[in-house]
Copies of this chain bind each other. A is one copy, B any other.
């Protein structure tokens, strides 16, 4: 492995000149630069990352803390990860992958030992223990999610409140008066991942705003969970003509159940789902849905981290506007029925 000294000799310049060619931090004449670059290419020189980090106190690596449990949200998590890695590369950074299970210790380890310049943390709970830990680090962090007390830490997420409102607005616009919300599983509420609450709150507010009668219920996983959730919804408010489903894994069994019980979508009942685009389109009937814009969120998180790193101003709370895409699962209630 050639070093910067080898390059310097080959080009007939000093090592510092090579460094300046590389970093562009000082003016270098065109000829010199050309000679240096030729030498670099010829020798196949690649600066040693450790040496660089030591001398410059920059690693060009960011940490991504992901929940690597193997559960339903895997595809979404993967989309986040993909977006983060891709975006990071576009800023010439690499990504160190940490798991959520390492908890606070993992963050501290990589931060204290100066392995990373910044951290991006996913899957935050309402009162996440990692928040205080992150605050103590010298590296900046960006959260994907919105924990309770996030003062001083940048957060990026979908605006779940607005998403709920938009779903309801869409259904209200189609004339629906009685609308049910199939929520996430109780486990999600218990885990206190805040998007569940934010969605629910938004949903209730929008119900009032649009003057619609609504019911909401969490939904246990599996066909049985869906059955009992629907039973509860129907019991609490009869004449439901529309459902908002904020539960990816319930989608399939829910559609099966509706089919089995002779409720046609969208003729008898309309459905708006909150889920990734491809999940919506791969259902037996293509669902009108609000996408979880994992790609945008991930990219924005990295962008925010980069701004933080070079001391630029950032907005500390960025909630992305939801986008509803109409497909085949929502029908109009004719005025005569209203």
A47-96 CB contacts (< 8 Å) to partner B:
47-54, 59, 61, 64, 68-70, 74-75, 77-79, 81-82, 85-86, 89, 94-96
A143-157 CB contacts (< 8 Å) to partner B:
none
Contact with B along A278-294 (1 / 0, CB 8 A): 10001010000000000
In the complex, which residue of chain B has the Cβ closest to the Cβ of A82?
A: B68
Q: Is the CB of B115 within 8 A of A94?
A: yes
- Whether, in the assembled complex, A1 has its beta carbon less than 8 Å from a beta carbon of chain B, the answer is yes
- Whether, in the assembled complex, A317 has its beta carbon less than 8 Å from a beta carbon of chain B, the answer is no
Which listed segment binds B: A106-114, A179-187, A199-207, A237-245?
A106-114
Q: Is the CB of B82 within 8 A of A49?
A: no
Among the listed B86, B97, B112, B114, which residue makes an inter-chain contact with A64, where contact means beta carbons less than 8 Å apart? B97
Among the listed B51, B86, B102, B110, which residue makes an inter-chain contact with A99, where contact means beta carbons less than 8 Å apart? B86
- Whether, in the assembled complex, A44 has its beta carbon less than 8 Å from a beta carbon of chain B, the answer is yes
Interface residues on A, range: 35 or more
Q: Is the CB of A78 within 8 A of B74?
A: yes
Given A70-B278, A74-B78: A54 and B48 within 8 A (CB)? Answer: yes
Q: Is the CB of A97 within 8 A of B96?
A: yes
Among the listed B1, B49, B109, which residue makes an inter-chain contact with A50, where contact means beta carbons less than 8 Å apart? B49
Residues of B within 8 A of A96 (CB): 61, 94-97
- Whether, in the assembled complex, A46 has its beta carbon less than 8 Å from a beta carbon of chain B, the answer is yes
Q: Is the CB of B112 within 8 A of A44?
A: yes
Q: How far is the CA of A5 from the CA of B223 in the complex (A)?
A: 62
Q: How far is the CA of A86 from the CA of B81 in the complex (A)?
A: 17
Shortest A234–chain B CB gap in Å is: 23
Q: Is the CB of A114 within 8 A of B82?
A: no
Pick from A49, A81, A115 the residue with the most CB of B within 10 Å. A49
In the complex, which residue of chain B has the Cβ closest to the Cβ of A52?
A: B50
Among the listed B44, B50, B94, B110, which residue makes an inter-chain contact with A110, where contact means beta carbons less than 8 Å apart? B94
Q: Is the CB of A113 within 8 A of B49?
A: yes
Q: How far is the CA of A46 from the CA of B74 in the complex (A)?
A: 33
Q: Is the CB of A59 within 8 A of B64?
A: no
Residues of B within 8 A of A85 (CB): 68, 97-99
Shortest A249–chain B CB gap in Å is: 9
Among the listed B70, B95, B223, which residue makes an inter-chain contact with A75, where contact means beta carbons less than 8 Å apart? B70
Q: How far is the CA of A114 from the CA of B98 in the complex (A)?
A: 20
A194-232 CB contacts (< 8 Å) to partner B:
222-223
Residues of B within 8 A of A61 (CB): 96, 115
- 16 more A-B residue pairs beyond the given contacts A48-B53, A68-B82, A89-B102, with a C-beta to C-beta distance below 8 A: A1-B114, A1-B138, A48-B113, A49-B50, A49-B113, A49-B114, A53-B53, A61-B115, A68-B78, A68-B85, A70-B278, A81-B97, A85-B97, A89-B99, A95-B97, A96-B96
Q: 7 closest pairs, A vs B, by CB?
A: A50-B53, A46-B112, A68-B82, A50-B54, A50-B50, A97-B97, A49-B113
